[in-house]
Chain A
Amino acid sequence: MQTSDWQPVLLLLVLVVAAVVLLHAVSVALRAIRAPLHTGPFTGGLEPREHPLSRFHVRWYPVTMVFLAFDMEMLFMYPWTKVVSAIGTAAVVEMFLFLGILLAGVGYAWREGAFRWS
């Protein structure tokens, strides 16, 4: 059962990757000039003074932390959906207590201005 479920997925993956390769091949076949054009990055016509790759100032860093907490929580929430009525009220109470605690964290982060960075 399990294998037959994934078989089409695997086949589709192969197919789509093949299609991507094919598209590149078509492009190679059609292209006007095959030697690549080497050029600078575009910012309006003038050249930058440094390489653009840099340690980007990620001002939303605190948000990533809050997000991680919730993302972990989702791991529990997916299986939880399947057993709510089997376990009953306790399942709902526990899950939403957990979510409530996380929301309190969100509230704190909000008060601290984590969601405002401009």
Chain B
Amino acid sequence: MADSAPLWAVFVLPVLLLVVALVTAGFDAVLTAGARGGRAGSVREAAVRAADPAREVLRQLVQQPRRTRASDVALARIGAALLPVAAMLAAVVLPLGFRSVSDLPEGIVWFNAMEALAWAAVWLAGWGPNSTLSLIGGYRFLAQGLAYELPHMLAITTAALGAESLRVGQVVDAQDGLWFALWMPAAFGIYLLSAMAMAFWGPFDQPAGRDVAGGAAAELSGADRVLFLGGRWLLLVVAAAFSVPLFLGGGYGPWLPGWLWTVLKTGAVLAFLVWVRRRVPTVRMERYVELGWVVLTPLAIVQALVVAVVVLNR
């Protein structure tokens, strides 16, 4: 049975997430540099490349503040800051092993609500600077949201249905024997797609794409940029980590302690996502929306129906 961690866990959680996000971003940076300039010649070189994201943070922080003409500074600033805040708040229901910061009775709904704040965040950050390219980026995310959000919600509901509970701890407990990923593969696959889409990352990075010079982030600099792009990594990490209690049996596993299983599984999911990013071009929403609604939504509903029938006959 999952229980809530002591209050000091509140201080540990953000640090832990930041570390995981930095490690993931560093791993990604090593692979990126390897693709462009050939594999790193030495461990030292690889380490330097892995430190790039951290150096990038420092580089942004020393920059002069920047305002575009007639921009709405407050709006952009709120948008940028909302992203990491939402990601952190969503993470309260993430169990490390079997303990989460707060195992809310409606944890799944809470996660969903926090993750949906990204819609507002990206759009605000895109609208605020009064710039064509960032405006396009902001609106791209709304279109993206319309495409990924519904299959995503159906997928997490399916996991809740399998446990007949919205409490994340109970969803984990229901996977003591068999992981949900094994008997709800469609829901799991859809969840992984939407995890990348909600963090507008990898094949779904159109809202912050290079073709629009960074999209919603095009005019952000300084702390705003750090918050926005860092928040994106946090969101990715949190979304990937949430797939572990939902579909991959949480802390359950042989031999090792629960917390270690959670970390290992999260790492595996993140590594998989980083790999996928390298294999697929950016998915444009004008094509993906159709797939999302005509294929993924019915698929998710059929998956939910199968699970519902199983639950009835249990």
Contact present between A and B (CB < 8 A): yes
Chain A residues in the interface with B (C-beta under 8 A): 4-9, 11-13, 15-17, 19-20, 23-24, 26-27, 30-44, 48, 51-54, 56, 58, 60, 63-64, 66-67, 70-71, 74, 77-78, 81-85, 88-89, 92, 95-96, 99, 103, 106, 109-110, 115-118
Query: Could you list 20 further interchain pairs (A-B, Cβ under 8 angstroms) beyond the known A53-B135, A77-B153, A89-B312?
Result: A8-B9, A9-B104, A11-B10, A12-B92, A17-B85, A30-B61, A39-B66, A41-B129, A41-B130, A42-B133, A42-B219, A78-B157, A81-B157, A85-B314, A95-B308, A96-B305, A103-B298, A106-B294, A115-B293, A118-B287
Q: CB distance A52 to B132 under 8 Å? A: yes
Using A52-B131, A96-B305 as known contacts, say yes or no to A33 and B294 having CB atoms under 8 A apart. Answer: no
**Number of A-B contacts defined by CB within 8 Å:** 211
A-B contact pairs, 23 of them (CB 8 A): A5-B103, A5-B104, A6-B104, A8-B9, A9-B92, A9-B102, A9-B104, A11-B7, A23-B227, A30-B62, A36-B64, A37-B66, A41-B131, A43-B213, A51-B130, A53-B130, A60-B142, A74-B153, A82-B164, A82-B166, A85-B164, A96-B305, A99-B301
Q: Are A31 and B213 in contact (CB under 8 A)?
A: no
Let me know if B157 and A9 touch, CB within 8 A: no
Binding site for A on B (CB under 8 A): 4, 7, 9-11, 13-14, 61-70, 81, 84-85, 88-89, 92, 101-106, 108-109, 127, 129-135, 139, 142-143, 146-147, 149-150, 153-154, 157, 160-161, 164-166, 213, 218-219, 222-223, 226-227, 285-287, 289-290, 293-294, 297-298, 301, 304-305, 308-309, 311-312, 314
A27 and B64 CA atoms in complex are apart in Å by 9
**Complex Cα gap A19–B10 (Å):** 13
Determine whether the beta carbon of B301 is less than 8 Å from that of A103: yes
Residue of A nearest to B80 (CB): A20
Closest B residue by C-beta to A14: B10
Q: Find out whether the CB atom of A27 lies under 8 angstroms from the CB atom of B92.
A: no
Chain A interface, >50% SS class: helix
Which residues of the partner chain B approach A117 to less than 8 Å between Cβ atoms?
Answer: 286, 289
Name which residue of chain A comes closest to B106, CB basis. Answer: A78
6 smallest CB-CB distances across A and B, nearest first, come from A41-B131, A27-B223, A52-B132, A118-B286, A36-B65, A115-B290
